[in-house]
Amino acid sequence: MNILLILAHPNPVSFNHAIARTVADTAREAGHEVWLHDLYAEGFDPVMTAAELDRAAVLPEVIEHHCREVDQADYLGVVHPNWWSAPPAILRGWIDRCLRAGRAYNFVPDGRGGARPVGLLKLRAGLVLNTANTPQAIEESVYGDPLQAHWVKVVFGLCGVKRVLRRNFAPMITSSADQRSAWLDEVRQLAIEWLGS
C-alpha cells in the first residue's frame, strides 16, 4: 500500500517530527511504501496562484508531484501542531494546492438548486495527529474542537474519506519525557489500527 504522510512543523526536533517518524517507521515495518513530506524542510510554497485555479491548469512540477501522490495514496496521514485552532498556514496551503477540485473532489447539482460534494480519492482511511498546549477537554468544551470538524467533516469528508482517526496530544508544554514516550507508543498503535482499516 502507498502511505502519504504530510508533516507541518518548522522545528526538526519537535515532537511532531517524532510522531511522523514513528508513523512512517510503523508503516515501513508493515511492508508499506511511505512518501513522507516535511513541508517546512522542503520549502513548500503554500500560496496558490490565480493560474492554478483552472481545473485544466498546467501545475508547477512540485504541485503536480504532490497531486499524483494524493491520487495514488491508499492512506493519507497529517501531523501538525494546533495553531489558533487550525493547522499551520503551510499545511492549509498544501490543502489548497494539492487537494484539487476535479482530482480530490467535485461538486455536482443537488437537485435543489445547490451543489453537493462528491469525493474522488481512493483513500481507505485518513489519520490526523496533532499537538497542542490546550488540554483536549478544554479544546472540546470551550472551542468545540475545530480541528475535528476541519479534518473529519471538511477536508476528508469533502474528499469522500469515511474513516478518519484523529488524536490530539496535549498539553505539550507540561509533558514529561515519560509522557512523550507513552504518547509515541500510542502513535504506534494508532498507526497499526489506521493501516488495518
Does pLDDT of 197 surpass 90? Answer: no
Is the bond preceding 88 in cis, omega lying within 30 degrees of 0?
Answer: no
In percent, the amount of the chain with pLDDT more than 90 equals 88
Instruction: Give the residue ranges of DSSP H helices in the chain.
Output: 15-29, 39-42, 61-72, 89-98, 136-141, 146-148, 156-158, 177-195
Q: Predicted confidence band at 137 (pLDDT cuts at 50, 70, 90)?
A: confident
Sequence-separated (6 or more) residues with CB below 8 Å from residue 34: 3, 5, 24, 27, 28
With beta carbons less than 8 A apart as the criterion, state whether 159 and 150 touch. Answer: no
pLDDT tens column, 161-192: 999 999 999 999 999 999 999 999 999 999 99
Distances (CA, A) of 54 to 59, 100, 187: 10, 10, 38
pLDDT tens column, 151-161: 999 999 999 99
Residue spans of the domains in the chain: they are 2-195
Would you state the torsion angle of the CA atoms of residues 124, 40, 16, 67, taken in this order, to the nearest 10 degrees? 0
CA-nearest of 168, 105, 161, 102 to 133 is 168
What fold is seen in the domain 2-195? Rossmann fold (3.40.50)
- How many whole angstroms from its chain centre is CA 150? 10
pLDDT tens column, 35-86: 999 999 999 999 999 999 998 899 999 999 999 999 999 999 999 999 999 9
> What type of residue is 70?
V
- Global pTM value: 0.95
Residue 158: predicted pLDDT: 94
